Chains A and B, each alone.
Chain A
Amino acid sequence: MSGVSLAPAAMAKPRAAARSGAVRAMAPRLVLGLYILFLLVPIYWLVNMSLKTNLEINSGMTLWPQNPTLEHYRRIFTDPSWYNGYLNSLTYVALNTVISLAVALPAAYAFSRYRFLGDKHLFFWLLSNRMAPPAVFALPFFQLYSAVGLFDTPWAVALAHCLFNIPLAVWILEGFMSGVPREIDEMAAIDGWSFPAFFIRHFLPLVAGGVGVAAFFCFMFSWVELLLARTLTTVNAKPIVATMTRTVSAAGMDWGLLAAAGVLTIIPGAIVIWFVRNHIARGFALGRV
């Protein structure tokens, strides 16, 4: 009896299910597409603006450049006060990445392989520096690096950024290293490898993905930081981000030039991200998945 009464419903069901199934399959794509659109529209607006003349920017709303011009980019690439900003930024970012990784690698190994006196407290103390507001350190850093004669050099910014990049690098690398079985260390010791030789020739290749991710994060947080970089430099080592803010405060807004400089700061990040795209999900979980 119930089978009879259910029959029409059962027949109707596959079609309805197919439709709702199609909706269900499409819905995630739609949400993701909308979200990515939300991310890209502001960036598009910046690119759009960088290709317009200032006259066009100020004279009304146009959704794309009517008379596309590369004038703003040409100015940045020919004016030393602009392109030196990029070189300065890349210098201290590179220095910071190398220093951070060089000291974080052995430390991360120690944390992942041994227990030692005060290890947990030390780890928390390191991490707490990642959490400290840079605004707190701006003034003391200014005085410290002036006192030791490093003020207005790339070294000052590179060392200052170590404050939050070293803890992060240790944290990420420790996560990746803990995923490597300890038997490998023991085998190497039995085979007579010295620790440095084992570490460089056998262990590092095993955590290469983690090293890449840690380097990526050091690059990222050093590249995006403004407050300390601006406070610790005046002329010779002035980073691009500071050049931009000082142009803004000058009389009259050169929107097109500002937008072009902004677009150029996005490019290095986009290149770096392309290289680590396969490790990025795990890297953002700090190697802890």
Chain B
Amino acid sequence: MAKPVDNRAWFLVLPVVALVAFSALIPVMTVVNYSVQDSFGNNEFFWNGTGWFKELLDPSTDLGGRFLDALWRTLLFSGLCLLIEVPLGIGVALTLPRRGWGVAASLVLLALPLLIPWNVVGTIWQVFARRDIGLLGAAVNGLGIEYNYAQSPLAAWVTVVAMDVWHWTSLVVLLCYAGLRAIPDAYYQAAKVDGASSWAVFRAIQLPKMQRVLTIAILLRFMDSFMIYTEPFVVTGGGPGNATTFLSIDLVKIALGQFDLGKAAAMSIVYNLIVLTVCWIFFATTTRSQSEAVQ
């Protein structure tokens, strides 16, 4: 049933547009304004044209090299998170009970990490993984494996990725579980009559039914891991060295630490454009595949 066309609906969305525009457009204009200027403090600004952008996108300059490194680190981090969290999340969702008292209890426990403030998540892992006072750090070192996230880049990466898995896999689990619950029992009974293996049930029934929610899960996980700031900042502070300095951390360092407004603004714009492009490709492909599914 097609929705009726009625442009008066604009009155209903007007408050949202006004509020979000206030929160989004004015800052974006500020950023664009700074990105084409240079400042030497004292509120004196000089026209710099596309200078910052040229510097940013040229890896041979200081700023460009720094940006490219942070970009690769962030992409690697997002990739690792997706690779671990999506299969693990699907796996755990398949083990959840379908009915009974266990459902509510499991869901509440699973959702718990999602409700913890991000810097507290960082604090939890900071104290959990420290070799002197943390259970994990002490246990790993007790096994004879050298593990110190404050000194070894590899250990820092393992800690940060493990923290993200701990923090966010539950989101994938809950989304997949929502998809699984929408499958009628009759499908499973039919599969049983046909003698289908559990792998066949997964491939033919469960995975297709989870497709929509999985799309949402992957999109949210990509976006949120790509703009991660607080958790690694608390645990490693971007170190050791620059080993875990992701884009957001670098950006805040330049903007609020060094007050390099022009550089930070140009970086913000490029960063935001990357996110928007990925988001738009995703949005366009999923809405197309959904409209094909309807036809």
Contacts and interface: CB of A to CB of B under 8 A. Distances in A.
Interface string B5-29: 1111110110111011011101110
Given A39-B170, A109-B12, A115-B3, A49 B127 contact: yes
Given A139-B31, A269-B112, 18 more contacts: A99-B19, A103-B16, A115-B3, A135-B247, A135-B252, A135-B271, A139-B255, A140-B30, A140-B31, A163-B23, A224-B115, A241-B120, A255-B133, A258-B127, A270-B108, A277-B104, A280-B107, A284-B178
Given A162-B23, A227-B229, A284-B171, A289 B119 contact: no
A286 interface: yes
B205 interface: no
A104 B261 CA distance: 34
A22 interface: no
Interface string B212-253: 110010000001001101100010000000000001110110
B178 A224 contact: no
Nearest to B138: A61
Main secondary structure of the interface of B (DSSP, over half): helix
Contacts of B3: 113-115
A38 B19 CA distance: 41
Interface stretch (B58-66, B87-95, B149-157, B187-195): B87-95
A136 B251 contact: yes
B251 A135 contact: yes
A117 B13 CA distance: 12
Interface in A94-142: 99, 102-104, 106-107, 109-111, 113-117, 119, 122, 124, 126-142
Contacts, number: 276
Contacts of B264: 139
Interface range, B side: 35 or more
Contact of A114 (B5, B23, B124, B271): B5
Contacts of A84: none
Interface of B: 1-10, 12-13, 15-17, 19-20, 22-24, 26-28, 30-31, 91-92, 94-96, 104, 106-120, 123-125, 127-128, 132-136, 138, 166, 170-171, 174-175, 177-179, 181-182, 212-213, 216, 223, 226-227, 229-230, 234, 247-249, 251-252, 255-256, 261, 264, 268, 271-272, 275-276, 279-280, 283
